[in-house]
Amino acid sequence: ETGVTQSPTHLIKTRGQQVTLRCSSQSGHNTVSWYQQALGQGPQFIFQYYREEENGRGNFPPRFSGLQFPNYSSELNVNALELDDSALYLCASSPGPIPSGEQYFGPGTRLTVT
């Protein structure tokens, strides 16, 4: 059983560019959540995907968008990058959006915007 994987590990982009981050969920998990963790802060919920549909969104602008594929892997897209988007982006998968607490996090993608 493989855990949650994310790619790439690190990424450097220029302000105004667009970026795509990828996440493979744990086997058997159909729900993926994305979090942004700025330096020295706790993770902040961006959005969640359940069976390819967005299932809730945090306080992030529309330039943060996502996708979930039939195999339940997911992408996070950020357009028009800003310096404040520099952060660790964490993906987490779970068996479903029901109260289970069984959410497993990947190692994250470190995005630096210059």
Partner 1 sequence: AQSVTQPDIHITVSEGASLELRCNYSYGATPYLFWYVQSPGQGLQLLLKYFSGDTLVQGIKGFEAEFKRSQSSFNLRKPSVHWSDAAEYFCAVGGSYNTDKLIFGTGTRLQVFP
Of 40 and 62, CB closest to partner 1: 40
In the complex, least distance from residue 35 CB atom to partner 1, rounded to whole angstroms: 8
Contact yes or no for 40/106 (Cβ under 8 A) = no
Contact yes or no for 19/27 (Cβ under 8 A) = no
Contact yes or no for 22/74 (Cβ under 8 A) = yes
CA distance 18 to 2: 29
In the complex, least distance from residue 26 CB atom to partner 1, rounded to whole angstroms: 12
In DSSP terms, 24 is beta-bridged to: 5
Of 66 and 108, CB closest to partner 1: 108
* Residues forming the site for partner 1 (CB under 8 A): 4, 31, 33, 35, 40-45, 48, 55-56, 58, 90, 92, 94, 97-101, 103-108
Of 13 and 58, CB closest to partner 1: 58
